[in-house]
Amino acid sequence: MTDATLPSPEPGERLEQDVESAVLAAAATAVDAAAEAVDIVPLDSPRRLLLVHAHPDDETIGTGATMAKYAAENVLVTLVTCTLGEEGEVLVPEIAHLAADRDDGLGQHRVGELAAAMEALRVKDHRYLGGMGRWRDSGMMGTPANERSDCFWRADLDEAVRELVAVIREVRPQVVVTYDENGGYGHPDHIQAHRVTVAAFEASSDPAYAPELGERWQPSKLYWTAVPKSVLQAGIDALKESGGTDFFGVDSADDLPFGVADDVITTEVDARDHLDAKVAAMRAHKSQIEVDGPFFALSDHVGQRAFGREHYILVRGERGPGSETSDRESDLFAGVEHP
Ligand SMILES: [Zn+2]
């Protein structure tokens, strides 16, 4: 873990927390400056991976270990985030005033958190769909945030798709990752990210579609992120055994709004070697993620280990070979030809 840049304070130590905030802010500034200075030439990297996520922190929670692993292998990892996560709940009392119903400053704060998280994952290419702040976090269905005309849920789909096609044609990823049609768990921004990504995946390969956005590009594979029910159940059982708090208040993985049957999982990326980077990135998303919560505190770090393997469902493209022990792919690029 990069403790030098991301110190973890004892709870309640105000001074330490201020120091950590300052360090994170400095890291964010450094990353922003680097992003402007570094001119990425996508085709310099033979393997290119594009991930489309809804809010800052989704990339780390669902795919952070995968991103760190591929970045470490010199794959060009490009993250597109669709909103700034303005409507998120603020877990840190000191900055509770940033919440949407108070100062409404959470989006800008999360830009810094995301930049620090990318620093931790060593991912250099991160962008906001349509530019920073183009679309706002939609909040949950039925809330006032979801009625706003500037929210991503109400985005003009054609415009959003064009923005993503431009990125796909520039970066030319062989592999694209986003959520399933339910957005994983039903959040409107996740559902919208799914719709936009699927449409852009198709459109980018059509030479008749917006030729001014660049030469057509056909990515080889499209994946949904997924959490197998067995993994969720193991977490629930481990928490119960430890006598700790319950896991989202349920006894069975069947009662959770996310989680898929194990047999639909096509791909398991074992990135436990990069778990430290993922945990550091989770710490960077301090306003949203409580890394020192009960799940993480489990003895022998069951919780942390569970986060080192990430799962996917291949929905477009040829499935690559499995291994001796499993017919699941272990590599998102399995079977993909690249220069
Ligand atoms: Zn999200």
Per-residue confidence (pLDDT) for residue 3, from 0 to 100: 37
| 305 band by pLDDT with thresholds 50, 70 and 90 | low
- Name which of 265, 268, 266, 271 is nearest 305 in CA terms: 271
| 239 band by pLDDT with thresholds 50, 70 and 90 | confident
When the pLDDT of each residue in the chain is averaged and rounded to a whole number, the result is: 88
Which pTM was predicted?
0.87
pLDDT at 24 over 90: no
- Name which of 48, 50, 107 is nearest 80 in CA terms: 50
Rounded distance from Cα 290 to ligand 1 centre (Å): 15
Rounded distance from Cα 208 to ligand 1 centre (Å): 33
Query: Count of CB atoms within 10 A of residue 148's CB?
Result: 17
Helix (H, G, I), strand (E, B) or coil at 56: coil
Per-residue confidence (pLDDT) for residue 234, from 0 to 100: 85
Q: Which two tokens stand for residue 199?
A: 């449409």
Rounded distance from Cα 187 to ligand 1 centre (Å): 7
| 193 band by pLDDT with thresholds 50, 70 and 90 | very high
E strand spans, the chain = 48-53, 76-81, 125-128, 175-178, 221-226, 267-270, 309-316
pLDDT at 8 over 60: no
| 184 band by pLDDT with thresholds 50, 70 and 90 | confident
- Sign, CA torsion 245/247/248/249: negative
pLDDT at 11 over 50: no
Helix (H, G, I), strand (E, B) or coil at 263: helix
CB atoms within 5 A of ion ligand 1 belong to 54-55, 58
Comparing 197-211, 260-274, 293-307, which segment has the lowest mean pLDDT?
293-307
End-to-end CA distance of the chain: 33
Rounded distance from Cα 204 to ligand 1 centre (Å): 25
- Name which of 304, 300, 290 is nearest 241 in CA terms: 300
Rounded distance from Cα 184 to ligand 1 centre (Å): 9
pLDDT at 170 over 70: yes
Q: Is 158 left (phi over 0), alpha (psi -120 to 50) or beta?
A: alpha
Rounded distance from Cα 324 to ligand 1 centre (Å): 35
CA distance 336 to 195: 24
| 72 band by pLDDT with thresholds 50, 70 and 90 | very high
Burial state string for 190-227 with b = 16 or more CB within 10 A and e = fewer than 16: bbbbbbbbbbbbebbeeeebbeebbebeebbbbbbbbb
